[in-house]
């Protein structure tokens, strides 16, 4: 299976370039409005477990590529279930769900990376992610998109590491692979300085080490 971005999800394809997903969310569509309604209901009822896409058809899910900021109002949330979604990115404000213990975007096959900010969640202990769909995974070693040639066009004002608000033009994007909860995942970092990059923890063995900007020139371990 091949994603529209060029990432092969089933068979190793060494040096096969990928372009990344730059999908723009249509916030006027009905599925987006339905998601906002579900979040508002969950907020009113103080839910701790939230699985909004369980109530949507595959046609509706195809219209939702990210999550709304209103999600951060669910301050009691301990479990976020995003099974079967068409999400292509998780926004960095995921770090505001400070009580989150379980994160499950399983079978969200267009979700190839997570934001570095997810590492800030102090209680996150369990995850369920379709790792074959991730850049640099140990099965297919999907190529990381080249951030020098084609950076992700999602404006962010804050450094992922020191949290300084410096403006998007003063941030540089990098990839790093780390253990998050129970999965090893690629993370997109927005860094304001080399000093901040040097604070990133070491990558697990058998994965690309350290921070980098992707592209076919990045040498990965052989697929397992």
* Whether pLDDT at 18 is above 90: no
**Count of CB atoms within 10 A of residue 158's CB?**
18
What is the rounded CA–CA span in Å between residue 9 and residue 2? 6
DSSP alpha helix (H) spans, 12-161: 30-44, 58-61
What's the confidence (pLDDT) of residue 119?
98
Query: Residue 107, exposed/middle/buried by CB under 10 A (0-12, 13-18, 19+)?
Result: middle
Q: Which residue has the tokens 């669910």?
A: 74
What's the confidence (pLDDT) of residue 1?
76
Query: Residue 50, exposed/middle/buried by CB under 10 A (0-12, 13-18, 19+)?
Result: buried
What is the rounded CA–CA span in Å between residue 199 and residue 197? 5
Q: Which domains occur in the chain, in start order?
A: 30-197 (3.80.10)
Rounded (5°) CA angle 140-146-131: 30
Q: How far is CA 211 from the centre of its chain?
A: 16
What's the confidence (pLDDT) of residue 11?
77
Rounded (5°) CA angle 86-13-150: 60
Evaluated on CA atoms 168, 146, 7, 11, the torsion sign reads: negative
The per-residue pLDDT for range 63-108, each reduced to its tens digit, is 999 999 999 999 999 999 999 999 999 999 999 999 999 999 999 9
What is the rounded CA–CA span in Å between residue 97 and residue 78? 8
**Count of CB atoms within 10 A of residue 168's CB?**
14
Q: Which residue has the higher pLDDT, 224 or 45?
A: 45
The per-residue pLDDT for range 104-139, each reduced to its tens digit, is 999 999 999 999 999 999 999 999 999 999 999 999
């Amino acid at each position: 299976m091949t994603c529209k971005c060029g990432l092969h999800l089933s068979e190793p394809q060494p040096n096969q370039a990928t372009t990344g997903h730059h999908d723009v969310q249509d916030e006027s569509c009905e599925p987006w409005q339905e998601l906002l309604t579900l979040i508002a209901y969950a907020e009113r009822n103080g839910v701790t477990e939230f699985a909004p896409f369980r109530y949507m058809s595959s046609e509706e899910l195809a219209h939702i590529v990210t999550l709304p900021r209103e999600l951060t109002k669910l301050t009691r949330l301990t479990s976020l279930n995003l099974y079967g979604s068409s999400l292509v990115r998780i926004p960095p404000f995921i770090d505001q769900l400070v009580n989150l213990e379980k994160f499950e975007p399983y079978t969200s096959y267009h979700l190839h990376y997570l934001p570095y900010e997810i590492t800030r969640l102090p209680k996150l202990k369990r995850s369920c992610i379709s790792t074959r769909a991730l850049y640099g995974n140990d099965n297919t070693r999907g190529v990381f998109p080249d951030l020098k040639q084609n950076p992700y066009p999602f404006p962010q004002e804050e450094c992922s590491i020191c949290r300084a608000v410096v403006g998007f033009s003063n941030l540089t994007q990098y990839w790093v692979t780390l253990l998050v909860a129970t999965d090893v995942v690629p993370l997109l970092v927005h860094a304001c300085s080399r000093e901040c990059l040097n604070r990133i923890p070491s990558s697990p063995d058998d994965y690309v080490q350290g921070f980098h900007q992707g592209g076919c020139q990045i040498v990965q371990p052989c697929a397992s």
